[in-house]
Amino acid sequence: MDKIPILRMGHFLLVTIQTDLYDRLAMSLEADLVQMVSKTNAKGVLIDISAQSIVDSFMGRIIGNIASMCKILDAETVVVGMQPAVAITLIELGLELKGVHTALNVEKGMELLQTKIILPTEDTSDDDDYSA
Amino acid sequence: MIIPLNKEAVEVKKEQDTIFLRNRIKECATKTGMGLVNQTKLITAASELARNMLRYAGGGNVLVETVSKGRENGVRLTFKDTGPGIPDIAMAMKDGYSTGKSLGLGLPGTKRLVSEFDIKSTPGTGTVITIIKWKNG
Ligand SMILES: Nc1ncnc2c1ncn2[C@@H]1O[C@H](COP(=O)(O)OP(=O)(O)OP(=O)(O)O)[C@@H](O)[C@H]1O
Ligand SMILES: [Mg+2]
């Protein structure tokens, strides 16, 4: 079965969903992400959906689930890159993404996560290698 | 009068089929010159109906057509299954009604996203749902 890769960047996990999602793939991403957050003690999760041309009620719900489960594990979730047409459609469909932060792009999303999270004091310069 | 310009049947038997369906619809919608927002609404609606068909009726068929009415062009989708049918359509069309422990957004949400929505269901026989999205609708 297909799998969506999860990248670790210091205290954050980064997911870029490049393939078209079907339900089982979305569900396995949910399970993998939550497991990874708990294993790595990640403080933030960034999900890039800029390649998704649609988000329907099921995928929207999965994103909501990820956010609320991560919250329990003390991690914040930011969804970035939602296309305007997708946002308009979600509203009309009647789905609210409760508890999910959104940002325009990966860079802005990272900034947002940084403001939401109080990182343990340590040198974080090793993150720079990945941030380009 | 609604005139079909071309048609194609797509089988939906498993989840991955919905991705193929979405792509076929996208192609049709692009041909009519439909804008991105309307395309997104239409494809999202189709995704909801395809999921319902898989979940509640074990799959079915979708007829994808480009249609015209007067000067307006659009895409018509007919979802047909031979599942258990819906006993109370008015109830199923309500926001929040679900027999699948879900949000109950699919049918009412779909209706909001498209230009025309028609549902016919006979318990024991199956369900036929037809939606149209007009290019400028
Ligand atoms: N093709 C179908 N065959 C039989 N029953 C159906 C079919 N489509 C929908 N239903 C019934 O109508 C109800 C409402 O459907 P709707 O899509 O609005 O909500 P849902 O699928 O339960 O939840 P959601 O779509 O928000 O995940 C379903 O719970 C189901 O009982
Ligand atoms: Mg549904």
- pLDDT tens-digit profile of B112-124? 999 999 999 999 9
Which ligand has the shortest distance to the CA of B79? 1
**What is the CA(A58)–ligand 1 centre distance, in A?**
12
- A58 contacts on B by Cβ (under 8 Å): 47, 51
Segments forming the whole domain that contains residue B106: 3-134
| Model confidence pLDDT, tens digit, residues A35-93 | 999 999 999 999 999 999 999 999 999 999 999 999 999 999 999 999 999 999 999 99
With beta carbons less than 8 A apart as the criterion, state whether A34 and A66 touch: yes
Separation in Å, CA of B5 to nearest CA in chain A? 26
**DSSP calls for B26-59:** HHHHHHHT--HHHHHHHHHHHHHHHHHHHHHHS-
Total structural domains in chain B? 1
Write down the pTM of the prediction: 0.92
**Cα–Cα distance, A29 to B41 (Å, whole number):** 25
Q: Yes or no: say if A33 and A15 are a contact pair by the CB < 8 Å rule.
A: yes
Give me the CATH topology for the region A6-116.
Transcription Regulator spoIIAA (3.30.750)
Q: Residue B49 sits in a domain of what CATH number?
A: 3.30.565.10
Residues of A in contact with B36 (CB under 8 A): 85
